[in-house]
Structure 1
Amino acid sequence: MDQRTFRDAMGKFATGITVVTTEVDGDIHGMTVNAFMSISLDPMLVLVSIDEKASMYDKIVQADKFSISFLKEDQQSYSMIFANQLKPEKPIDFDRLNGQPILKDTLAAISCEKYELKQAGDHMLVIGKVTDIIINDGNPLLYFEGKYHNLKK
């Protein structure tokens, strides 16, 4: 088994798309993440996995707090911007949740305090304790086999 086969197999698992953001020294940093999951109800904990080569890696390790925005089906451009695949046409205008930057009008957003970091191979598992939540109506932006998809009802 090689890395390409592993990546192809993992691409068979459909995921939602999130953007993780944090603020360090007054600057907002973010990245697109589909390796996200909830892991506990008591306390309310979530996990994101970040590649040690990602520009966001040092920022999220350094930050005490971060937020996660769950993208709607019409927000593919946010995913591409925060994956460095698209240049924004204008500066991103963020909202705030419990003091943390979040993207506007997403399906949901959560703010977190860093709870634990765990090195796992070439990634850092960042566990956050949820401190606040916003939920909006809409359908999710999905990712499957390396492509964006929308729900078909």
Structure 2
Amino acid sequence: MSDPVDPARYRLAMGRFATGVAVVTSSLRGHDVALTVDSLTSVSLDPVLLLVSLHAEARVLEAVESGSPWGVSVLTARQRGLAEWLGEPGRPLHNQLARVPHEQGEITGVALVQEALSTFECRTYAVHPAGDHSLVVGEVVGMRARLTDEPALVHYRGGLGELR
């Protein structure tokens, strides 16, 4: 029998895996809610599915589980402040996107971050509890990708940086 894995050391080790940074948005009781994530992956091309991992206590997860459509906005390096704000725990429910330039998705009406590298509008395909998170699989019903040379915002070793 080996010793159990220390969560702090696990987090440190996983921090060596560079990931992009995105914002997941939805609507809860008439309010836009949002959360910064670094766990976004493509799942399938037929049907077109993507996956995000959301903390079990996230308001966005509550919105998704209530049946609201949701969006994903992949951030540019200059959107770092926005990522930090939407990653802060304990933000108020009201006006989370007040200081975030955003627009409504053409298909679902979900809030999407303006000037993001790409955006996806999703309807929930499946939710799988996984420890202190839930894995949320979304069917992509709309998307946009900007043609730009702007660097992407990335998460690496516990910090935010950029990748060209």
Query: SS of the residue aligned with 2:57?
Result: coil
Q: Which amino acid aligns with 2:58?
A: A
- Displacement of 1:92 in angstroms is 2.7
Structure 2: gaps spanning 5 or more residues: none
Report the TM-score, using the length of structure 2 for normalisation. 0.85
Which residue of structure 2 lines up, in the alignment, with residue 96 of structure 1?
104
Query: SS of the residue aligned with 1:74?
Result: helix
Q: Which amino acid aligns with 2:103?
A: D
Q: How many residues align?
A: 150
CA distance, structure 2, for counterparts of residue 57 and residue 139 of structure 1: 29
Which residue of structure 2 lines up, in the alignment, with residue 57 of structure 1?
61
- 1:1-153 map, 5 Å: 1-84=5-88, 91-97=99-105, 98=107, 99-136=109-146, 137=148, 138-151=150-163
Alpha carbons of structure 1 residues 28 and 142: separation in structure 2 relative to 1, 3 Å: same
Q: 2:28·2:59 contact (CA, 8 Å) conserved in 1? A: no
- Displacement of 1:57 in angstroms is 2.9
- Displacement of 1:6 in angstroms is 0.6
CA distance, structure 2, for counterparts of residue 151 and residue 139 of structure 1: 5
- Return structure 1 stretches of 4+ with deviation > 3 angstroms: none
- Displacement of 1:55 in angstroms is 3.7
Query: SS of the residue aligned with 2:83?
Result: helix
Structure 1: gaps spanning 5 or more residues: none
Query: SS of the residue aligned with 1:105?
Result: coil
- Displacement of 1:121 in angstroms is 1.5
Moved more, 50-59 or 7-16: 50-59
Q: 2:33·2:59 contact (CA, 8 Å) conserved in 1? A: no
CA distance, structure 1, for counterparts of residue 129 and residue 57 of structure 2: 13
Query: SS of the residue aligned with 2:78?
Result: coil
CA distance, structure 2, for counterparts of residue 91 and residue 120 of structure 1: 32
CA distance, structure 2, for counterparts of residue 42 and residue 28 of structure 1: 30
Using the aligned pairs only, state the percent identity.
29
Q: 2:28·2:62 contact (CA, 8 Å) conserved in 1? A: no
Report the TM-score, using the length of structure 1 for normalisation. 0.90
